[in-house]
Amino acid sequence: MTPLKGAYTALVTPFVADGSTVDIERLEQNIRQQAAGGVTGVVPCGTTGESPTLTDQEHRVVVEKTVELAKSHGLQVIAGAGSNNTEHAIHLHRFAHAAGADAALHVTPYYNKPSQEGLYRHFMAVADSCGLPVVMYNIPGRTSVALSADTIERLAAHPNIQAIKEATGSLDQASEIALRTDLALLCGDDTLTLPMASVGGVGVVSVVSNLVPQKVADLCRAFLEGDWEAARILHGELFGLSRGLLSLATNPIAVKAALQILGRDTGAVRLPLCPPDQETRQAIEDMVAVSGLRAAELPV
């Protein structure tokens, strides 16, 4: 398989204004924007894509449409396929394989709070189910359970487990993964993309690249090519926007509002998420203004 490294955009799932259906035309426009920005790939049906509120049919359509269009633009696709039900995760994994995705993203099972042995068996069952590469997603802030470095090392021995999206916020954890495994280490926190690269990270699954794909792609390209000074400058330019998107409201509320302000999304989210209140909306508008983004700058 093609190595997993560089900038991957965690795509929002655009809905029509009342949130009742997926806006496929807007999804296609967003993917073209990402291709024009030079990212390595896209990630449909992840957290940013509001996967918990998509029906199975919507999930299938979003993945299939994303693969179809992304491949025509030379983009890799890491399809969201995680579940806290191992059998359902296997079902989604096999579907992503059949749809033509390059890999599937699997979050640690949430709510169940499995032991490390349970986590190991879950990911091994998914990896054994078909030949599609697995990207593990370690985000205890969302799931209340984290993969330990020991468990990650055990799982890394499976040939189908190729990468990890690391979102614990710990550079110690990232360092252990890089030192103890050959997994592709992808950052799951936009503000830590460059710091994680300094200890072995090779890319990012990014929220902010929904807005500025070229800048995130340039950041990854810079550190992968060893141009750390250019990477540091880009990190500084992205830092305020990256921190704001993930601190002003629960993801993806802020990024969808920002896209709406820029004329690139309806801003609709599905319950139990809801639009930002007026104060938060104003803060998002101010953040977009300070960043210098203009709707005309976003390619279609």
**Angstrom distance (rounded) from CA 19 to CA 280:** 20
- 296 band by pLDDT with thresholds 50, 70 and 90: very low
The residue annotated as part of the active site, out of 8, 120, 165, 256, is 165
Percent of the chain whose pLDDT exceeds 70: 98
**Angstrom distance (rounded) from CA 48 to CA 94:** 22
* Domain region containing 218: 6-225
Determine, yes or no, domain membership for 239.
no
Which CATH number covers residue 183? 3.20.20.70
CB within 8 A of 22, min separation 6: which ones? 13, 14, 15, 16, 54, 58, 61, 62
**Angstrom distance (rounded) from CA 62 to CA 24:** 8
Per residue in 5-24, pLDDT tens? 999 999 999 999 999 999 99
Determine, yes or no, domain membership for 251.
no
Q: What is the pLDDT of residue 300?
A: 45
The separation between the first and the last C-alpha atoms of the chain, rounded to the nearest angstrom, is 29
Determine, yes or no, domain membership for 245.
no
**Angstrom distance (rounded) from CA 220 to CA 233:** 12
Does residue 1 have a pLDDT over 80?
no
Split into its structural domains, the chain has a count of 1
- In this prediction, residues 145-165 reach a mean pLDDT of 98
- In this prediction, residues 32-55 reach a mean pLDDT of 97
The yes-or-no answer on residue 113 being catalytic is no
The residue annotated as part of the active site, out of 120, 137, 215, 256, is 137
Contact 27, 65 (CB under 8 A): yes
Per residue in 236-285, pLDDT tens? 999 999 999 999 999 999 999 999 999 999 999 999 999 999 999 999 99
> E strand or H helix at 137, and its extent?
strand 134-138
Does residue 298 have a pLDDT over 80?
no
Determine, yes or no, domain membership for 288.
no
Per residue in 71-89, pLDDT tens? 999 999 999 999 999 999 9
- In this prediction, residues 201-214 reach a mean pLDDT of 98
The yes-or-no answer on residue 256 being catalytic is no
